[in-house]
């Protein structure tokens, strides 16, 4: 697989590992609260929900890494496109239901990576 598409997929995957860490482990810390604009009280009350959400971000990242590492490049590309589409949809949903900037954090990078994989 070409370098640019692989790099784009890897960056989206790493972004979702970072989101996993923020949601699962840093949710109630000053860094986590700042990232999501939370009060300490709200962060404490929603800690379990955030950890669940973080786990799903980990699944997205795992799927992207699976696509990158798959021994059959043609199938790996299909896996990457599938999981990048899921990331894009998650970003659109997050933007519509939580914060509009989620679109730019998740959907835009996923869209760029989709184009790179598809045309790379």
* Ramachandran angles phi, psi of 25, nearest 5°: -120, -25
Entry pTM: 0.93
Residue-number span of the structural domain to which 46 is assigned: 3-119
- Rounded to whole angstroms, the Cα distance separating 86 from 102 reads 14
Report helix, strand or coil for 38. coil
Helical H segments across the chain, by residue range: 3-24, 30-36, 40-45, 47-69, 73-97, 101-102, 108-119
pLDDT of residue 62: 98
The token duo for 114 is 């989709």
> What does the pLDDT look like over 47-89, one tens digit per residue?
999 999 999 999 999 999 999 999 999 999 999 999 999 999 9
Q: Which is nearest to 19 in space by CA: 7, 36, 5?
A: 36
| Total domains, the chain | 1
Per the CB < 8 A criterion, the answer to whether 12 and 64 are in contact is yes
> What does the pLDDT look like over 7-34, one tens digit per residue?
999 999 999 999 999 999 999 999 999 9
């Amino acid at each position: 697989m070409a370098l640019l598409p692989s790099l784009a997929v890897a960056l989206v995957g790493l972004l979702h590992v970072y989101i996993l860490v923020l949601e699962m482990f840093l949710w109630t810390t000053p860094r986590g609260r700042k990232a999501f604009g939370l009060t300490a009280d709200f962060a404490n009350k929603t800690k379990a929900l955030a950890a669940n959400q973080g786990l799903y971000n980990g699944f997205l990242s795992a799927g992207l890494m699976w696509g990158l590492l798959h021994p059959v490049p043609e199938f790996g590309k299909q896996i990457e496109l599938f999981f990048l589409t899921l990331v894009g949809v998650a970003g659109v949903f997050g933007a519509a239901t939580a914060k509009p900037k989620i679109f730019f954090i998740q959907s835009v990078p996923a869209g760029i990576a989709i184009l790179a994989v598809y045309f790379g």
